[in-house]
Amino acid sequence: MDPLRIYRADGTDEGEGCAQARAVAGKALQALGYTDGVFHMELLLDRSSDSFFFGEVAARVGDVLIQEAVLFRHGFSLAGAAVDVALGRPVGSVGDPSDRCVATTSLHLPRGTIVKLPNADRFTEADDIHELRIAALLGVNDVPEVRNTTNRQGLALVSAASLAELDTRMESVRREFAEQSLVAPAFGTGVQQRAFMAGYEDAWRRLL
C-alpha cells in the first residue's frame, strides 16, 4: 500500500489539481457560512480516481510551520491577517513574497536512546533552510517507531527553485539530521549500553 503523503498547495497554481481542490474547499466553506477570516483545511486525494474529498476544516491558523511557509512564500502573516479581518481593516503584507517552492518536512530518528542531537542553527545557516525545530529531548528512549506528523523528532522549512529540487533537498535535510544525531540502540543489558557509550566517547575525543 502506498504510504500516506501530505502536500500543500498555495492555491495560485492553475493546474487541474488545484482547481479541483479550490472547488471542494469553496463548497465546504459555503456550507459552513464562513466568509471572512483565516482557516485551515485538509483534503484527501484518492489517487485511483484523482478526486478530492473533504477531510477537516478549522477557523484557525494551521500549525506545523504553515504560518511560516505562507509568510515566506507570500509575505503575509496569517495571524496578522486574522486580526486585520476581525477589525475590519485591509489585510497588510509584512514582507516580500518569494517565487521559490517551499515545504515542511518531518525529521525522524531510529528507535533507541537519544544521545546527541544536531545544532539547529547550523542548519538554518543555509540559504534554503529557513527554520528547523527540534522536538526531541536528550535521554529520551524508545523513540516511537510509527513515523507521522505527530511522532517526529523535528521539523524543517525548506525552499528550492523547483518541486523536483525541493523533494531532493528535503530528503538531504532528513538524512543530515539523522547523521548528525546519535541514538543508542535498545540493548539487552546495561553492560552493552555502557560499551556503546564508551566507544562513542572515544570517537568524540578523537575529534577534539
Q: Is the pLDDT of residue 148 over 90?
A: no
Q: What is the pLDDT of residue 208?
A: 39
HEC per residue, 11-55: CCCCCHHHHHHHHHHHHHHHHHCCCCCCCEEEEEEECCCCEEEEE
**What CA–CA distances, in Å, run from 110 to 69, 178, 186, 189?**
27, 8, 10, 19
Q: What is the pLDDT of residue 120?
A: 94
Q: Is the pLDDT of residue 64 over 70?
A: yes
Enumerate the domain spans of the chain. 16-86, 101-207
How many CB atoms lie under 10 A from the CB of residue 181? 20
5: number of CA atoms within 13 Å, CB side?
Answer: 10
Q: Is the pLDDT of residue 168 over 60?
A: yes
Output the average pLDDT for the chain: 82
* Architecture of the CATH domain 101-207: Alpha-Beta Complex (3.90)
Calpha distance 173→181 (Å, rounded): 12
Q: What is the pLDDT of residue 36?
A: 85
* C-alpha cell belonging to residue 73: 512564500
pLDDT digits (tens, 9 = 90+) for 120-130: 999 999 999 99
Residue 104 or residue 196, greater confidence: 104
CATH code of 16-86, in short, is 3.30.470.20
Q: Is the pLDDT of residue 14 over 90?
A: no
Q: Is the pLDDT of residue 52 over 70?
A: yes
**What is residue 136's three-state secondary structure?**
coil
Q: What is the pLDDT of residue 123?
A: 94
Q: Is the pLDDT of residue 188 over 60?
A: no
Q: Is the pLDDT of residue 194 over 70?
A: no
- pLDDT band at residue 199, thresholds of 50, 70 and 90? low
pTM: 0.77
Q: What is the pLDDT of residue 2?
A: 46
Q: Over pLDDT 90: what percentage of the chain?
A: 28
Q: Is the pLDDT of residue 103 over 70?
A: yes
Q: Is the pLDDT of residue 207 over 70?
A: no
Calpha distance 172→182 (Å, rounded): 17
